[in-house]
A and B are shown apart, each in its own frame.
Chain A
Amino acid sequence: MKMTRRRVMRGAVGAGGLRLLPGGLGVGLFCGSATTVAAPWPRSAFDATTRDDVLRLLFRDKTPVPSNAIQLTVPEIAENGSVVPVTVATSLSGVQTITLLAPGNPRVLMGQYVLGARGHAPVSVRVRLGKSQDIVAIVGTADGKLHSAVKPVKVTLGGCGG
């Protein structure tokens, strides 16, 4: 655990000043309130408008490998694009981060969930999708590998609208 965090720190500083998340892994980097960790928010990754930029900014040179050990559950048809439920579960062990991408959205990175030593999937959230697209879930494990799963969501409008 320690090793990855330090390497991620050094790498992050090198990659154009992006302060990647060090704090989430139990290190007491505080700002503001005492007992919580103020993870520096990866602004450039969240501002990125293409999938490749997000991957490069978050994971540098590592490329995610499709894996069927990830269960990405999304409704096939989302009747309301502003509330689309997403659940990511996985049988992989040593999961550290779960990242959700929406390549069809103006801002591709939707969220990154950092599981502490005792954190586990499944993780469930509700997201906003601008149009029908494939949602991508990337699971980062302790061995430094990245595993990905993709699921299409059809975003439609209601039939009536006044």
Chain B
Amino acid sequence: MNRLLQLGLLLTLVATVHAQVQHDFWPGRERVIPHVSGDEMWSGTYKNWKDSEAVKKSMAAGMMSRDINFKDFRWLEKSFDGELKVDMGREVFHRKSSNGRSCATCHGENGEKLKGWYATQPRFSAKANRVIVAATQISICAKEHLSEDWPENTRNNSLLDMYLAYLSDGRDVDIDVTSGPMKEAYEKGRDLFFKRTGHFHFACASCHTGVTTQSYLRGQRPSTFFGDAAHYPIYHFPYRLPGDDVEDIFTLQHQIKSCQMLSRMLPGVEGSRTLTAIEVFLKASANGYKMSIPTQEYNMSTGYLLRDGL
């Protein structure tokens, strides 16, 4: 019976992309859609937080944070600490480098020409010939035009990332993953998000879907992955992981890497294809949700407890 059973298993295998090795996946990959409303099929709470009006109504009705997918206190309150990082980012944006040029030289004072740009990132770059995230674009641009060496996880790159995201504050996330390399990256990111890896054999989806999002992971409560990407990069109370250059700005890739480290999975390299694919998947899962920058790591102010409105 055992032999027959395994044969049955092999025959019903879905022809997956990873030809020879079959990976373990957390269930639900086929139920994701590249739009924030997809959350209705996961936590069923989307209608409670689909825009700030809905969040206010839900809060007034006394709903708990998890009924609003943690959009009440985590993300819709602007961060005072984050404003200071935006100021520092603006300063880096206008600072002239050794060749006398600054980002503002081409992109306009106060980033005039880059308003709304961050809401359409990541995207395919012909120059890099692959899908890249904003941080990678910043490092390419800085090297080429400012002859500055600012790889993805360095302080200046993260400050610029925060400032450019701030220039898209209030815009709806809008990245097109319906065709070409972006579609490929989205599907690769989706598979990686559901792929079980690491010492514990967890997937990102293990914590960020299903029952775990309704309950306590000791002191923390994971949210579902829809919509969260619209509020990155966030201000994080100084928290340095081994190898970190920046301890208080968490771009989306920095957050993914930090989560991998804390969940005993092999951490990726910021700017790599792997983390970029996962970021494409997460950002596409926030399509249609308004960006709100700067926000901060949850639980740093009592505003959400005083419910003094958004």
Residues of chain A touching chain B, judged by Cβ–Cβ distance below 8 Å, are 73-75, 77-80, 82-83, 85-87, 124, 126, 154-162
Contacts and interface: CB of A to CB of B under 8 A. Distances in A.
B298 interface: yes
A162 B218 contact: no
A86 B262 contact: no
A79 B299 contact: yes
B302 A85 contact: yes
Nearest to B258: A162
A85 B299 contact: yes
A158 B259 CA distance: 11
Given A156-B219, A158-B218, A162-B264, A79 B302 contact: no
A124 B80 CA distance: 13
A79 B219 contact: yes
A142 to B, nearest CB: 26
Nearest to A86: B302
Contacts of A124: 301-302
B306 interface: yes
Interface residues of B, number: 18
Contacts, number: 58
Contact of B220 (A73, A75, A159): A159
B65 to A, nearest CB: 11
Q: Please name the 7 residue pairs, one residue from A and one from B, whose CB atoms are nearest each other, closest first.
A: A156-B219, A159-B217, A159-B218, A160-B262, A87-B302, A79-B219, A85-B302
Chain B contact residues: over half helix, strand or loop, or mixed? loop
Contacts of B219: 77-79, 154-159
B255 to A, nearest CB: 13
12 contacts: A74-B302, A80-B299, A82-B237, A85-B300, A86-B302, A156-B219, A157-B219, A158-B219, A158-B220, A159-B217, A160-B259, A160-B264
B169 to A, nearest CB: 23
Interface of B: 216-220, 237, 259, 261-264, 298-302, 305-306
Nearest to A84: B299
Best-surrounded residue of B217, B218, B219 (most CB of chain A within 10 A): B219
B262 A73 contact: no
Contacts of A80: 237, 299
A124 B302 CA distance: 8
B84 to A, nearest CB: 15
B301 to A, nearest CB: 5
Contacts of A75: 299, 302, 305
Contact of B305 (A73, A154, A155, A161): A73
A76 to B, nearest CB: 8
B220 A79 contact: yes
A161 B262 contact: yes
A73 B305 CA distance: 7
A82 B216 CA distance: 20
B306 A73 contact: yes
Contacts of B220: 79, 158-160
A162 B258 CA distance: 9
A154 to B, nearest CB: 8
B302 A160 contact: no
